[in-house]
Amino acid sequence: MEESKLTNEEDNSKESSPKIEKDIKNEQNVQAFAEFLEKSSDQDVLQQKSNLNSQELKLLPIKSLFERFRNEGIDGITTNPNQKMLALLIILLINLSVFLAIANIGKAYLKNAGIL
């Protein structure tokens, strides 16, 4: 009876070892497949980004600073709102100084003409 128990246990261990090996192989296959999918998805994403970048570069015409200024005005030079505000402030200061200079010239003319 003890011999039959030993043979049954040996048979069970022999039967279970191939099952365990199959399970291990299946897990390894699943891990390998998951890694493959991750690598391929990363490559696809990188390829799509490079394709978009190359297409965007082809669509955007290269313009010089002078052409942008001529076509779009002073506000078309930059998309940075701080730089736009600075450009507008400089323009306003120039206009104010020109206005004051013309006003002083006019005032002097009126004084010399005896009207003021």
Q: Judge contact between 37 and 45, C-beta under 8 A.
A: no
Q: Which two tokens stand for residue 61?
A: 């015409």
Q: What is the pTM of this model?
A: 0.34
Taking CB atoms within 8 Å and a gap of at least 24, the contacts of 23-28 are none
Residue spans of alpha helices (H) in 1-116: 2-59, 65-72, 81-113
Q: Are 68 and 58 in contact (CB under 8 A)?
A: no
User: How do the pLDDT tens digits run along the chain, 116 residues long?
Assistant: 555 555 555 555 555 677 778 788 888 887 887 787 777 777 766 776 666 666 665 666 666 777 777 667 666 666 677 877 888 899 999 999 999 999 999 999 999 998 87
Give the pair of three-digit tokens for residue 6.
Answer: 């030993």
pLDDT of residue 49: 67
